[in-house]
């Protein structure tokens, strides 16, 4: 049966008991490797045609949606590979646009990356330390952030017509989701939750970076 608050179905087998510190380490390791795959993908796709890059990005978006409905894509070794494949495709998808900014406005890339790191650290620490249970916000924010993935990419590709207010909203919602994910990790997380929590944090980081890149390049 689906958890009506998180939007995820409980794992059919025995829940893996994992200490909070261990789970935090697992999640952050997965996020770090996923970011590495995204960076590698952006280098691989730097010279792709925008149409091809966009199609690959849509594939990654579809894989994210599939993960929300298929348990095998959230738990276990296959799910880890699924996360890394998503990260690689997202990287390839943003490759041409990111390469454009690196060549023409490198300061915007540096500022966006630095601000994203600070926001992730601050919201993660805040959500982890907060005594209030934020679990109820997981599902609505997750649906919003899925839409933000597509919107962030469109803003990046068509940056000349990007809406700074929309970019700010995307960054704020994604920041909140990072806090919610870390809060859930501390209060409810088990070993079976590592992959999907890492996916949520990774996607939020990407959204924040792309939104800030759009803002700083204006």
Q: For a pLDDT cut of 90, what percent of the chain falls above it?
A: 39
Give pLDDT, residue 38. 95
Q: For position 10, what pLDDT does the model report?
A: 43
Task: Provide the H-helix boundaries in the chain.
Answer: 20-44, 50-69, 77-104, 106-129, 138-157, 164-187, 194-216
Neighbours of 129 (CB within 10 A): 11
Residue 78 has pLDDT above 90, yes or no: yes
Mean pLDDT of 102-126: 93
The DSSP code sequence of 179-212 is HHHHHHHHHT--GGGHHHHHHHHHHHHHHHHHHH
Assigned token pair, 104:
């023409």
In this prediction, residue 79 has a pLDDT band, given cuts at 50, 70 and 90, of very high
User: Distance between CA 9 and CA 3 in Å, rounded?
Assistant: 5
Q: Is 50 exceeded by the pLDDT of residue 13?
A: no
100 pLDDT exceeds 60? yes
Total-model pTM = 0.83
Does the pLDDT at position 11 exceed 70?
no
State yes or no: pLDDT of 103 exceeds 50: yes
Residue 76, Ramachandran bin (φ over 0: left; ψ between -120 and 50: alpha; else beta): left
Distance CA 47, CA 188 (A): 43
What dihedral do alpha carbons 143, 185, 126, 165 form, nearest 10°?
A: -10
Q: Is 46 helix (H, G, I), strand (E, B) or coil?
A: coil
Section 12-34 average pLDDT: 79
Identify the pLDDT of residue 9.
43
Reported confidence tier of residue 17, pLDDT bands at 50, 70, 90: low
C-alpha to C-alpha distance for 55 and 187, rounded to whole angstroms? 38
* Per-residue pLDDT band at 4 (split at 50, 70, 90): very low
pLDDT at position 142 is: 74
Give the largest CA-CA distance in the chain.
Answer: 52
What residue ranges do the domains of the chain occupy? 20-216
Res 8 pLDDT > 50: no
Q: What tens digit of pLDDT does each residue of 189-217 get?
A: 888 889 999 999 999 999 899 889 888 87
Q: Which of 129, 181, 173 is nearest to 8 (CA)?
A: 181
pLDDT tens, 42-56? Answer: 999 998 988 888 889
Give yes or no for a contact between 165 and 214, defined as CB atoms under 8 angstroms apart.
Answer: no
């Amino acid at each position: 049966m689906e958890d009506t608050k998180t939007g995820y179905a409980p794992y059919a087998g025995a829940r893996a008991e994992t200490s909070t510190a261990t789970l935090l380490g697992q999640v952050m390791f997965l996020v770090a490797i996923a970011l590495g795959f995204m960076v590698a993908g952006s280098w691989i796709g730097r010279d792709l045609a925008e149409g091809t890059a966009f199609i690959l990005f849509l594939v990654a978006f579809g894989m994210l949606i599939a993960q929300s409905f298929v348990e095998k894509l959230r738990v276990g070794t296959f799910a880890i590979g699924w996360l890394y494949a998503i990260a690689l495709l997202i990287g390839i998808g943003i490759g041409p646009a990111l390469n454009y900014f690196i060549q023409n406005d490198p300061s915007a890339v540096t500022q966006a990356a630095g601000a994203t790191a600070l926001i992730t650290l601050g919201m993660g620490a805040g959500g982890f330390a907060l005594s209030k249970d934020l679990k109820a916000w997981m599902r609505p924010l997750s649906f919003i952030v899925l839409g933000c993935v597509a919107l962030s990419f469109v803003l990046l590709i068509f940056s000349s017509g990007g809406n700074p207010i929309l970019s700010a909203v995307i960054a704020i919602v994604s920041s909140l989701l990072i806090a919610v994910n870390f809060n859930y990790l501390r209060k409810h997380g088990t070993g079976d939750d590592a992959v999907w929590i890492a996916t949520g944090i990774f996607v939020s980081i990407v959204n924040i970076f792309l939104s800030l890149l759009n803002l700083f390049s204006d």
